[in-house]
């Protein structure tokens, strides 16, 4: 944009009222540094060398190399002798592109090499699909009845299909959708009742310097005139969010209490025993002394064993035991070869996929012998943890209270503690129970370094070069990033979120937590922290690029100041050009980069593609039958990682009130659309595409409620910022608070709200925890007859010891999702679940 020195000067630049040789001559009304005549645009332009920070324009009338020459390039570029700027590290991006192309070619080539293989194993596909149907969540049914899946119309807000945690998961999503719809409705109320200009302040296009000047002047005036609507909306949004969070917390706590009194689960009968002395594998620790020390009303004791070093051998032994009950039809397969038998690239890829599915084609050679399994069990040592199962909930509470009053329970020479647990048997990570708190702290520190390093590495290797690339545009006379640049930005944002998802998952799973809900809680913390850090880095980058863009085109503020001449950050941030540009960039970051693209292909990648590949590989190899076919079609596990996605999206949408109003409705609308899609997808996924699971612990949900305080505290900060603007006049930075005082006030309001919000949630949850409901009169035996997953059947070493060490007949049945029909009951050892009637 040309400075408004005078209407005549502006007209001289725009309408070619001067000759070519007069460009850059102040006496003609043109700018001194706009000395280059542009034949296409018919105006005098600035020096325009790609990636040049300081450019030396030739004298009026110069041509060729002397016309414009760079003196200093932007960081990341090298000045050439010809006065051009050459990007550093370009070979790095070429190498990435080459590697990506090679991976794509190999993947496509492998797919075509197996997709046209003849289907010779339709029986294996049928067995895999049957196992998949058995593994999905089904409705309650009487013994002998065929289980049926819940209809897709099931209301998961009120129907307990997989524990109270699942109901809370969907209620949380629904509540936040209601929150977004309500706030957008309030904003539209201001639009319709006050002024429709609220829909366009900040996103009006400017095709020419004159129009840009008019847009800036009009936009600044209207933004200040209607600033009271933004302040009023923020007050309503903040109060509504705080009251809504409190009401939701009360309803959620009430739901947990009602579910605990209505639905009996295994956790009602179990207490955790900590501090056990170490026992050898040859000792019958399950019977004595642990059982006798904890009371007469004990059904049994499930001891945790240290088997992390031999976890692969334990899994192989469990697989062998499950196959013994599979009643598989002998497979007659020809000599082959079949996919995965050769040594080519395609066969190696096939074997890698099958190994990832734990499908082994070594004709059972991977299974250990019974003698080897027994020796492995004898060589094990117990951990300090065991789970004591009582006959009734009242017996458990009495034992826990008694041990608490006495200060512990003496087993051997160790004083042990007994405490209630909230986690269901499926949520226990038995292999991790040998990990101490000190080891877990060290693992968490390593995980923090991994996630932080990933953010830093991503910024240095990709975001920073992207910034250099964007800085190569002069942002003058139409030299601005195009669709290709925006495509690169979307790709970077999506890939960064996928990378942070992987790193956060690795960090949380590698920490060594004892329960699944602790893993998910850690993942939510890691992922949200990483996304916020990544957002902060990216917003700093985008703010800098926006500033370069505005300075590059010579933008003025509404009061005539040149943006490039301003030095105060508050004045720059409050200026309408920066508000307009930041709004566009932040909305682009939200939609479609964060709100939609990462989830658009999730059903394909997570559900449809694995099933499609399984059909191809199983159908092409007749040796994949029975247990192996079922593993190939195994359903995914349900994880509450969606909480992290939701909270981050809310953080993004609450940043919008800091900037121009036009993107308020657009961003909230985009959020609503994407989360309606997510809510619908998660419903279908729970009812059809994940294996049976049970969420009883409220830990992850409680964390999500506390994390909701972050977007609410951002609203509080935005309210302080806008109120300060409202307190001033037309001039930039004229509010009551200026500079550091403003930013400290915003930060103080945010921190104060965070503390108050978390204290409010703790008070509500503690209040409902203190109001315990009536104890259930149901006995453990009755509950265990309908629930196959117990603290005995989910403990792999306990099941193996039942057969090989304790020599119980029948041994403790092993619980595996979709294999409940193979379980046999033995009431004498606390095993009561049996789907098939006992043989006479």
DSSP line for 296-363: TTEEEEEEEEE-GGGHHHHHHHHHHHHHHTS-PPPP---S---TTSSSSHHHHHHHHHHHHTT---ST
Backbone angles phi, psi at 68, to 5 degrees: -150, 135
Q: Which residue bears the tokens 């329960």?
A: 515
The answer to whether residues 241 and 273 belong to one domain is no
The answer to whether residues 786 and 814 belong to one domain is yes
Q: How many residues does the chain have?
A: 840
pLDDT band at 13 (very low <50, low <70, confident <90, very high): very low
Whole-number pLDDT of residue 574: 84
Domain assignment present for residue 199? The answer is yes
Asked whether the beta carbons of 446 and 510 are under 8 A apart, the reply is yes
Domain assignment present for residue 142? The answer is no
The answer to whether residues 182 and 249 belong to one domain is yes
pLDDT band at 265 (very low <50, low <70, confident <90, very high): confident
Nearest to 122 by CA among 540, 619, 514, 672: 619
Domain assignment present for residue 613? The answer is yes
Q: Is 771 helix (H, G, I), strand (E, B) or coil?
A: coil
Domain assignment present for residue 153? The answer is no
Go through 223-254 and write b for each residue having 16 or more CB atoms within 10 A of its CB, e for each that does not. bbebbebbbebbebbbebbbebbeebbeebbe
Q: Is 72 helix (H, G, I), strand (E, B) or coil?
A: strand
Single out the residue in 38, 65, 86 at which a domain terminates.
86
Domain assignment present for residue 688? The answer is yes
Domain assignment present for residue 116? The answer is no
Please report, rounded to a whole number, the percentage of residues in the chain having pLDDT higher than 70.
Answer: 83
pLDDT at position 33 over 80: no
Domain assignment present for residue 797? The answer is yes
The answer to whether residues 281 and 182 belong to one domain is no
Whole-number pLDDT of residue 12: 38
pLDDT digits (tens, 9 = 90+) for 430-477: 999 999 999 999 999 999 999 988 888 887 777 777 766 666 665 554
Q: How many distinct structural domains can be found in the chain? A: 3
The answer to whether residues 531 and 612 belong to one domain is yes
pLDDT at position 520 over 70: yes
pLDDT digits (tens, 9 = 90+) for 205-219: 766 556 667 777 887
pTM, to two decimals: 0.85
The answer to whether residues 735 and 800 belong to one domain is no
The answer to whether residues 529 and 652 belong to one domain is yes
The answer to whether residues 564 and 542 belong to one domain is yes
Name which residue leads in pLDDT, 573 or 363: 573
Asked whether the beta carbons of 207 and 740 are under 8 A apart, the reply is no
Single out the residue in 52, 86, 120 at which a domain terminates.
86
pLDDT at position 20 over 80: no
Name which residue leads in pLDDT, 53 or 788: 788
Nearest to 608 by CA among 501, 681, 673, 678: 681
The answer to whether residues 249 and 226 belong to one domain is yes
| DSSP H or E stretch at residue 456 | helix 437-458
Q: What is the Cα–Cα distance from 28 to 8, expressed in whole angstroms?
A: 9
Q: What is the Cα–Cα distance from 122 to 501, expressed in whole angstroms?
A: 37
Least confident among 279-288, 362-371, 795-804:
362-371
Q: Which residue bears the tokens 């939200």?
A: 590
Domain assignment present for residue 469? The answer is yes
The answer to whether residues 651 and 539 belong to one domain is yes
The answer to whether residues 761 and 806 belong to one domain is no
Q: What is the Cα–Cα distance from 810 to 800, expressed in whole angstroms?
A: 12
Compute the mean pLDDT over every residue in the chain, rounded to the nearest whole number: 83
Structure tokens at 19: 């000759």
Q: Which residue range forms the structural domain that includes residue 399?
A: 266-423+778-829
Q: What is the Cα–Cα distance from 76 to 639, expressed in whole angstroms?
A: 42
| Average pLDDT over every residue of 221-225 | 86
Single out the residue in 86, 117, 146 at which a domain terminates.
86
Across 68-162, where does the E strand assignment appear? 68-73, 77-79, 85-87
Asked whether the beta carbons of 364 and 255 are under 8 A apart, the reply is no
Q: With left for phi above 0 and alpha for psi between -120 and 50, is residue 560 left, alpha or beta? A: left
Backbone angles phi, psi at 305, to 5 degrees: -115, 150
The answer to whether residues 735 and 749 belong to one domain is yes
pLDDT digits (tens, 9 = 90+) for 297-329: 888 899 999 999 999 899 889 988 887 776 555
């Amino acid at each position: 944009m040309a400075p408004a020195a005078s209407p005549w000067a502006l007209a001289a630049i725009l309408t070619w009222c001067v000759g070519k040789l007069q460009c850059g001559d102040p006496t003609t009304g043109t700018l001194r540094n706009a000395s280059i005549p542009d034949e296409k645009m018919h105006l005098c332009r600035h020096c325009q060398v790609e990636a040049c920070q300081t450019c030396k324009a030739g004298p009026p009338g110069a041509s060729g190399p002397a016309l414009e020459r760079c003196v200093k390039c932007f960081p990341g570029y090298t000045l050439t002798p010809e006065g051009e700027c050459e990007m550093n590290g370009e070979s790095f991006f070429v190498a990435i592109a080459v590697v990506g192309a090679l991976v794509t070619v190999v993947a496509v080539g492998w797919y075509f090499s197996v997709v046209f293989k003849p289907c010779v194993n339709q029986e294996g596909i049928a067995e895999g699909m049957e196992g998949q149907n058995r593994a999905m969540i089904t409705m309650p049914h009487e013994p002998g009845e065929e289980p049926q899946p819940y209809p897709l119309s099931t209301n998961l807000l009120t129907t307990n299909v997989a524990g109270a945690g699942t109901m809370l998961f969907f209620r949380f999503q629904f509540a936040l959708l209601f929150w977004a719809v309500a706030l957008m409705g309030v904003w539209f109320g201001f639009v319709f009742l006050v002024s429709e200009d609220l829909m366009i302040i900040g996103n009006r296009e400017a095709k020419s310097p004159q129009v840009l000047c008019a847009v800036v002047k009009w936009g600044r005036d209207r933004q200040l005139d209607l600033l009271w609507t933004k302040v009023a909306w923020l007050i309503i949004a903040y109060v509504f969010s705080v009251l809504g969070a409190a009401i939701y917390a009360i309803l959620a706590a009430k739901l947990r209490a009602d579910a605990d009194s209505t639905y009996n689960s295994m956790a009602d009968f179990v207490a955790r025993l900590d501090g056990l002395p170490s026992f050898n594998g040859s000792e019958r620790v399950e019977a004595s002394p642990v059982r006798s020390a904890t009371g007469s009303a004990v059904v049994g004791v499930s001891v945790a064993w240290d088997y992390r070093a031999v976890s692969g051998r334990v899994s192989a032994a469990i697989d062998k035991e499950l196959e013994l009950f599979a009643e598989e039809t002998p497979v007659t397969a020809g000599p082959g070869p079949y996919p995965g038998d050769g040594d080519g690239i395609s066969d190696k890829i096939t074997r890698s996929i099958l190994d990832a599915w734990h499908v082994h084609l070594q004709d059972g050679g991977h299974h250990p012998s019974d003698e080897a399994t027994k020796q492995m069990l004898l060589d094990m040592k117990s951990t300090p943890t065991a789970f004591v199962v009582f006959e009734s909930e009242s017996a458990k509470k009495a034992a826990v209270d008694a041990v608490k009053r006495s200060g512990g329970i003496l087993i051997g020479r160790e004083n042990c503690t007994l405490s209630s647990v909230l986690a269901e048997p499926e949520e226990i990570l038995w292999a991790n129970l040998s990990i101490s708190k000190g080891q877990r702290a060290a693992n968490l520190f390593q995980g923090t370094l991994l996630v932080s390093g990933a953010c830093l590495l991503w910024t240095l290797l990709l975001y920073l070069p992207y910034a250099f690339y964007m800085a190569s545009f002069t942002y003058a006379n139409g030299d601005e990033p195009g669709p290709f640049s925006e495509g690169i930005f979307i790709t970077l944002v999506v890939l960064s979120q996928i990378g942070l998802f992987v790193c956060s998952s690795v960090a949380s799973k590698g920490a060594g937590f004892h329960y699944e809900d602790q893993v998910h809680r850690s993942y939510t913390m890691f992922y949200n922290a990483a996304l916020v850090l990544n957002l902060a880095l990216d917003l700093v980058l985008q703010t800098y690029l926006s500033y370069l863009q505005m300075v590059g085109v010579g933008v003025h503020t509404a009061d005539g100041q040149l943006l490039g001449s301003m030095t105060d950050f508050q004045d720059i941030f409050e200026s309408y050009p920066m508000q307009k540009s930041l709004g566009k960039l932040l909305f682009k970051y939200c939609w479609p980069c964060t709100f939609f693209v990462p989830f658009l292909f999730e059903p394909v990648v997570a559900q449809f593609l694995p099933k499609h590949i399984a059909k191809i590989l199983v159908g092409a190899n007749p040796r994949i039958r029975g247990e192996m076919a079922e593993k190939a079609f195994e359903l995914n596990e349900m994880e509450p990682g969606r909480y992290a996605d939701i909270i981050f999206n809310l953080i993004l949408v609450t940043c919008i009130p800091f900037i121009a109003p036009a993107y308020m409705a657009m961003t909230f609308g985009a959020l609503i659309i994407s989360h309606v899609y997510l809510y619908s997808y998660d419903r279908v996924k729970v009812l059809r595409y994940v294996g049976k699971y049970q969420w009883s612990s409220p830990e992850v949900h409680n964390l999500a409620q506390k994390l909701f305080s972050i977007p609410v505290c951002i609203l509080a900060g935005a309210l302080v910022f806008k109120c300060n603007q409202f307190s001033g006049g037309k001039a930039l930075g004229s509010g009551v608070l200026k500079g550091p005082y403003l930013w400290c006030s915003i930060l103080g309001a945010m921190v104060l709200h965070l503390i108050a919000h978390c204290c409010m949630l703790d008070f509500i949850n503690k209040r409902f925890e203190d109001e315990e409901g009536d104890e259930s009169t149901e006995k453990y035996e009755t509950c265990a007859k309908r629930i196959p997953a117990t603290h005995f059947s989910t403990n792999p070493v306990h099941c193996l010891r039942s057969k090989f060490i304790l020599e119980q007949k029948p041994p403790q049945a092993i619980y595996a999702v979709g294999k409940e029909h193979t379980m046999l009951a033995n009431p004498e050892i606390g095993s009561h679940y049996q789907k098939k009637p006992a043989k006479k």
